Structure 1
């Protein structure tokens, strides 16, 4: 690990709501000969193998992520969707992580009352269970908006198979993006796929004049074409 510290900042990869660290497998492989260090891709609280929180908030999630990072080592944070908001929270310096750059991909800017109501409804329901793993995996992919051929995380409980997700995480709410951007102590890049319905370019331009738009890609651009994200990281390395 000492060699990694000498070679460059740690790269922290934060997945989106209902996803897991597995969404970064393609990008990690792409970075094998490019990033001067070891990428770190945790499961966010209540996702995958990570323990849940009593109450979900962006600050609470950021604090849990920060607790597992070396506070003496500079970090570049790349977050997708929910992970992008957490990246902004970490960029504030409030959680003791020396973030040198934050890249936020596919962050949802505009939230309607209907969006918030649907999220609250999902958060209030018990986990949906299935008799077989395949159906549970299909539901997990639907929750995260992942491609049909993606093998995301599921778990087997007393009632059957279910997505490896605490549904209460959907209650995290609407982020204060202008406030988080104002609090950031490092350069921030806002980016999205050209075809991302959750993070259209015109919404991002309300926050920054020059967002990075990835041609031909959708909300999960990092899964669709991991190589397309390298220019975002190369510019902050």
Structure 2
């Protein structure tokens, strides 16, 4: 079971998220929190695998709570869920250790898939967030040439997997599209990150766009 903590100051939002997540038989909502301070307390008490974290909350906001939680030994993975599409939130959340960043209008199936993805140790971002990051990190001369040189080290199959990751597809979806097992896709992604010296899926997605392979 994937244990999830929901942190949001709106009761209706928490109820909706709980209903969506518990429709998946392998996800269990173990606790809820109404602000960042309570999220920290509940995370300590219940040791969830994933924390769904709102940004704007009273007492302590989600960004500060994410930074605190991510600093623990073997911390839960934090998936930031918000209505706000502002660059500084994206960068701050990622700098504070968030493993993902999604909007509250994310379809239910994509939300449960995102929880699974970050629980597996991977990073995930909403497509529009990825575009912001690409624009931010693609500035400066020689960026495309450098990215192409790094991507040239990949095999043709790894380039296919890289392109799919850059499109925001989960491992399961990539396996379906490329006719591979999910375990094989996961192995390819790990190998791609090693070859590109990237820490997570977000970084390799940015590199793919910089190299112009899509």
* Alignment TM-score, normalising by the size of structure 1: 0.37
